[in-house]
Amino acid sequence: MGERPVATLDILQQVVKASPFTDWTGCEVTRCDSGVAELRLPFKKELTQHHGFVHGGVIGFLSDNVSAWAAASVVGDVVTADYSVKLLSPGIGEEFIARGEVVKANKRLVAVESKVYALKEGQKKLVAMGTATILPV
């Protein structure tokens, strides 16, 4: 897989700016190398559901993004085949961070694990765990 250009932090920061939805959420990629990607998302009210928590669909989106980026750091351009997320705690916090890590990559697909955390008053709480299958394109 070494012949394909892989994603880097610089490249992904450009991609995020060119991605209207990701950019609108305020999601920022903070790491992308060696099969690991990380992001942060500041809380904003527009991301919440009717109880005031960040919507589970947004948490899943973070998991999807960080998984695709982790895969892209190994295999270059990718598309998500599937992602799955367990919502473990309500999305309450001033900021959310997510980390995706490639578990296995080959020419056909990349398996990724992810975690999403909420930061609230200096505490970091696990909000979701996810898995994804990402395809090189």
Residue in the block written with tokens 């998984």: 67
Residue number with CB closer to a second copy (31 or 134): 134
Looking at 8, 57, 94, 124, which residue binds a second copy (CB under 8 A)? 57
Strand 28-33 and strand 78-87: the pairing is: unpaired
Report d(CA 50, CA 108) in Å as an integer: 40
Phi and psi at 52, nearest 5°, equal: 90, 0
Looking at 2, 50, 121, 123, which residue binds a second copy (CB under 8 A)? 50
Looking at 10, 33, 46, 94, which residue binds a second copy (CB under 8 A)? 46
Answer yes or no whether residue 88 interacts with a second copy by CB under 8 A.
yes
Report d(CA 109, CA 56) in Å as an integer: 26
Answer yes or no whether residue 60 interacts with a second copy by CB under 8 A.
yes
User: In this structure, which amino acid lies at residue 52?
Assistant: G
Q: What is the DSSP letter of 54?
A: B
Answer yes or no whether residue 122 interacts with a second copy by CB under 8 A.
no
| Binding residues vs a second copy (CB under 8 A) | 15, 18-22, 24, 45-50, 54-58, 60-62, 64-65, 79-89, 103-104, 108-109, 111, 113, 126, 129, 131, 133, 135
